[in-house]
Amino acid sequence: MSVLTDHVGLEVTAASQEAVDAFDCTLVAYLRFGNDIGDLLKATYSLDSEMLLANVLRGYFMQMMGVRALVPKAQQALEAAQGGTAIATPREQLHVKALEAWCNLDLFGASEAWEACIRDYPMDVLAVKMLHYSHFYVGDSINLRNSVGRVWHAWEGREDLETYGYMLSMRAFGLEETGDYAQAESLGRAANNLNESDAWAVHTVAHVCEMEDRQTDGIVWLNAKGGYRNWNNFRHHLAWHKGLMLFEVGRHDEVLALYDDGIFDPDSNEYLDLTNDISILARLDFEGIDVGDRWNVLGEKAKGRVDDKLLAFVDAHFALALGTIDNEAARNYVSSIDDYRDSKDDTYAHIAQVVGYDLCDALVAYRAKDFVGCVDALEPVRDHVELIGGSNAQRDLFAQILIDAAIRSEQWSLARSLLSERTALKPRNVRAWRQLSMTLKSMGDDAGYQLASIKADAAGRS
């Protein structure tokens, strides 16, 4: 083993420079959501089966799948990495520490190790990317943005580096999630210009269009930029974004067509795919669209994942799918989350304690058409839903479910309040204006109904 240097000049302990270069290729594939990540990691191992960072990365990948059955494999990767710590650099040891915390299901502890890493090694793209994951899945949008900002002093002007564009798209996404849409779009487009295969750059601009209700712009963007062939399943998430925009403008037939050919992958059990699928069908249900037996497939897949309990964001979607096909199974699932939060002391239990359990309880009530029960469980915790992780666009489903439940239970004052808040935040959102106009009509407010209808028409033309 020797101490060599990677593409940004950081020290890496490895058997050969070829192994370090292969590791760099794997990291870049991960950054661009390539479909060759697994092959490239294997290639790295073929050059150095004991490389500490390769073992760490394998452990990260196992944990990122969000499948409890893979945690022992992450643990094996950790033990392999720990075997090399005696000769490891301080940076490598921090990565081992992060993986160790993660294997203990302590995502906050892992974040602390990665934050320590980027403070001393701001060029560490892997640590920055992992913070992008961990801050995202505990709903910490401020640090999602600021973790990239904290290292930018070292990246300014480093367009010569292959990973510069990927850093730029991460910076853009953090800005998007904290509402700086203009700067996010500018940097996202710049990152896409540097690397057309950077899925995160394409994705960030799509998020900006979604949040600003610029559906036409977003659909044009995704049609032009979202078709790169060598992406992994993340391409389904890009299709999901297009589906959201088609839904918002009422092109429901196209949403269903895209669901079948672009969003849904029958062979996939990956959580991101399942959450995309569940989220789009739930939106179609708002409008009473017949989705056939599509829920059954998702519900059955969710049944196989009830013991994961690693990501609250994912479990909220599973609760929705289970509640759609099998209320008893859904109720048992919610009870199991209750038991888990009381008996464990990990990141998931912490989030379940604050909001995850109540959210799942509300979603199952919603699916049982207990709309009062849904409102009672969800309304008190609505401001904490961000802690389950995911993006603003993804979590918007739960805001819409609360509005739908308020309307269906004829809690008009609450519905008016929620929709007034929503239209103030999203003045171009046609659906929200239409829902507000109907709510005001139900309350006998004819002048308000007329005004909101005019706003809906104007938003539809803008």
Q: Which of residues 388-427 bind Fe ion (CB under 5 A)?
A: 391
Phi and psi at residue 10, to the nearest 5°? -80, 150
Shortest separation between residue 62's beta carbon and Fe ion, angstroms: 23
The 3-state DSSP class for residue 387 equals helix
Q: Which of residues 356-395 bind Fe ion (CB under 5 A)?
A: 391
Q: Is the CB of 145 or the CB of 341 nearer to Fe ion? A: 145
Shortest separation between residue 173's beta carbon and Fe ion, angstroms: 9
Q: How many residues does the chain have?
A: 462
In this structure, what token pair is assigned to residue 261?
């050919």
Distance from C-alpha of 9 to C-alpha of 36, rounded to nearest angstrom: 24
The 3-state DSSP class for residue 5 equals strand
Phi and psi at residue 191, to the nearest 5°? -65, -40
Q: Is the CB of 69 or the CB of 224 nearer to Fe ion? A: 224
Cβ proximity of 53 and 21 under 8 Å: no
Q: How many chain residues are in contact with Fe ion, going by CB under 5 A?
A: 1
Nearest to 331 by CA among 318, 319, 347, 314: 319
Shortest separation between residue 70's beta carbon and Fe ion, angstroms: 23
Distance from C-alpha of 108 to C-alpha of 114, rounded to nearest angstrom: 10
Q: Is the CB of 60 or the CB of 234 nearer to Fe ion? A: 234
Distance from C-alpha of 366 to C-alpha of 423, rounded to nearest angstrom: 23
Distance from C-alpha of 124 to C-alpha of 132, rounded to nearest angstrom: 13
Q: Is the CB of 395 or the CB of 455 nearer to Fe ion? A: 395
The residue with its CB nearest to Fe ion is 391
Nearest to 201 by CA among 233, 230, 226: 226
Q: Which of residues 230-259 bind Fe ion (CB under 5 A)?
A: none
Distance from C-alpha of 306 to C-alpha of 300, rounded to nearest angstrom: 11
Shortest separation between residue 319's beta carbon and Fe ion, angstroms: 20
Shortest separation between residue 223's beta carbon and Fe ion, angstroms: 17
Q: Is the CB of 168 or the CB of 222 nearer to Fe ion? A: 222
Distance from C-alpha of 383 to C-alpha of 393, rounded to nearest angstrom: 15
Nearest to 228 by CA among 203, 207, 246: 203
Shortest separation between residue 242's beta carbon and Fe ion, angstroms: 11
Q: Which of residues 30-89 bind Fe ion (CB under 5 A)?
A: none
Shortest separation between residue 420's beta carbon and Fe ion, angstroms: 27
Q: Is the CB of 242 or the CB of 350 nearer to Fe ion? A: 242
In this structure, what token pair is assigned to residue 424?
């103030």
Q: Is the CB of 136 or the CB of 371 nearer to Fe ion? A: 136
Shortest separation between residue 237's beta carbon and Fe ion, angstroms: 6
Shortest separation between residue 277's beta carbon and Fe ion, angstroms: 14
Measured torsion, CA atoms of residues 239, 242, 247, 251, in degrees rounded to the nearest 10: -100
Shortest separation between residue 206's beta carbon and Fe ion, angstroms: 7
Distance from C-alpha of 411 to C-alpha of 30, rounded to nearest angstrom: 47
Cβ proximity of 377 and 361 under 8 Å: yes
- Amino acid code (one letter) for 77: A
Distance from C-alpha of 346 to C-alpha of 324, rounded to nearest angstrom: 29
Shortest separation between residue 281's beta carbon and Fe ion, angstroms: 17
Q: Is the CB of 394 or the CB of 423 nearer to Fe ion? A: 394
Q: Is the CB of 147 or the CB of 391 nearer to Fe ion? A: 391
Q: Is the CB of 239 or the CB of 405 nearer to Fe ion? A: 239
How is the chain split among helix, strand and coil, in percent rounded to 5?
75, 0, 25
Q: Is the CB of 242 or the CB of 431 nearer to Fe ion? A: 242
Q: Which residues are at the interface with Fe ion (CB under 5 A)?
A: 391
